[in-house]
């Protein structure tokens, strides 16, 4: 590979990483928001070519949507898509928990328990950034414990789509009480993993995903109802 081709490959990879971080870690773009290719090129100090290369990859991952003659958009919230994603998540996370119940190492358990401790502290402090980080750490370590690369890759893709689709939709509007319930569900999953109870671990993981979907759809339905004028 010659130097020019290597540089183009590096620019494309770096642009992809940077834009993906903007979408998922920084929350810079809202669900359904139009993205300016020119602005991205300027912000990243690269030409449009690597930006378009990154956009193509992110569209293939289901995070962006290119509309001919209109532009590039973050995927918009769509209840039917969310339901489909969570149906897949329920099956895959259930299987991941079943596998982890027999494959989890002491290190896996320690890391998951530590993530739950951080999650509890973030709830008490009402710190949404810390909560999201500890929540993802718990889920990602469950995937590591399952020791199935195909399930891990599939679920990480579904997590990313969920996050992009819900950006800016105030996932904490249902209150910290709901997040305490999430923590309790996580603890139940970990307890069943520790007990090496495959059936109960799968059931706990599936129930957790079902409750997450229910919370999201309830929040969206409430947001769609116009508030009454003050009496």
d(CA 156, CA 176): 25
For residue 166, what is the domain's CATH number? 1.20.120.530
Q: What is the pLDDT of residue 170?
A: 53
Positions in the chain whose pLDDT score sits under 70: 1-12, 168-174, 223-231
pLDDT given for residue 184 in this prediction: 97
User: Does residue 125 sit within a domain?
Assistant: yes
Residue with tokens 């990483």: 17
Q: Report the alpha-carbon distance of residue 127 to residue 164 in Å, rounded.
A: 20
Domain count, the chain: 2
| The predicted structure's pLDDT at residue 61 | 93
Q: Please check whether residues 52 and 98 belong to one and the same domain.
A: no
Structure tokens at 207: 């129930």
Residue 2 is classified by DSSP as -
Supply the pLDDT for residue 22: 92
Q: Last residue of a domain, which of 26, 48, 74?
A: 74
Grouping H, G, I as helix, E, B as strand and the rest as coil, residue 226 is coil
Q: What is the pLDDT of residue 18?
A: 93
Closest CA to 161 of 43, 108, 82, 217: 82
Task: Quote the CA–CA distance of 217 and 161 in Å, as a whole number.
Answer: 16
229 domain-assigned: no
User: Which has the closest alpha carbon to 48: 8, 77, 21, 101?
Assistant: 8
Q: Does residue 67 share a domain with residue 140?
A: no
Please say whether the beta carbons of 179 and 212 come within 8 A: no
Residues 175 and 211 in one domain: yes
Residue 231 lies in a domain: no
| pTM score of the predicted model | 0.82
Cβ neighbours around 51 below 10 Å, total: 27
Find all residues with CB under 8 Å of 87, minimum gap 6, and list them: none
Residues 96 and 149 in one domain: yes
What b/e sequence results for 161-200 when a residue is b if at least 16 CB atoms lie within 10 Å of its CB, and e otherwise?
bbbbbbbeeebeeeebebbeebbebbbbbbebbeeebbeb
Distance, in Å, from the CA atom of 216 to the CA atom of 162, rounded to the nearest integer, reads 10
What pLDDT, on a 0 to 100 scale, did the predictor assign at position 224?
A: 56
Do 23 and 93 fall into the same domain?
no
d(CA 124, CA 133): 15
The DSSP annotation for 172-211 comes to: TTT-HHHHHHHHHHHHHHHHHHHTT-HHHHHHHHHHHHHH
Q: Find the domain containing 46 and state its range.
A: 3-74
DSSP labels, 51-113: HHHHHHHHHHTTSEEEETTTEEEEPPP-HHHHHHHHHHHHHHHHHHHHHHHHH--HHHHHHHH
pLDDT at 225: 43
Q: Are 86 and 70 within one domain?
A: no
pLDDT of residue 5: 40
């Amino acid at each position: 590979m010659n130097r020019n081709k290597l540089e183009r490959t590096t620019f494309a990879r770096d642009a992809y990483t940077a834009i993906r971080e903007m979408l998922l870690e920084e929350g810079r773009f809202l669900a359904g928001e139009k993205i300016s290719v020119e602005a991205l090129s300027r912000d990243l100090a690269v030409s449009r070519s690597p930006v378009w290369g990154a956009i193509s990859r992110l569209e293939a991952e289901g995070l962006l949507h290119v509309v001919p003659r209109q532009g590039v958009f973050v995927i918009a919230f769509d209840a039917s898509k969310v339901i489909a994603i969570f149906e897949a998540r329920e099956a895959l996370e259930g299987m991941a928990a079943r596998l982890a119940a027999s494959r989890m190492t002491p290190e896996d358990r320690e890391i998951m328990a530590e993530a739950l401790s951080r999650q509890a502290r973030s709830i008490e402090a009402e710190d949404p950034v810390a909560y999201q980080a500890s929540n993802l750490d718990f889920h990602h370590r469950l995937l590591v414990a399952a020791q199935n690369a195909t399930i891990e890759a599939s679920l990480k893709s579904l997590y990313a789509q969920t996050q992009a689709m819900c950006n800016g939709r105030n996932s904490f509007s249902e209150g910290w009480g709901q997040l305490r319930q999430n923590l309790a569900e996580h603890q139940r999953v970990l307890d069943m993993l520790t007990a090496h109870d495959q059936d109960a671990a799968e059931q706990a993981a599936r129930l957790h995903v079902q409750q997450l979907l229910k919370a999201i759809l309830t929040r969206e339905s409430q947001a769609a109802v116009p508030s009454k004028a003050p009496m």
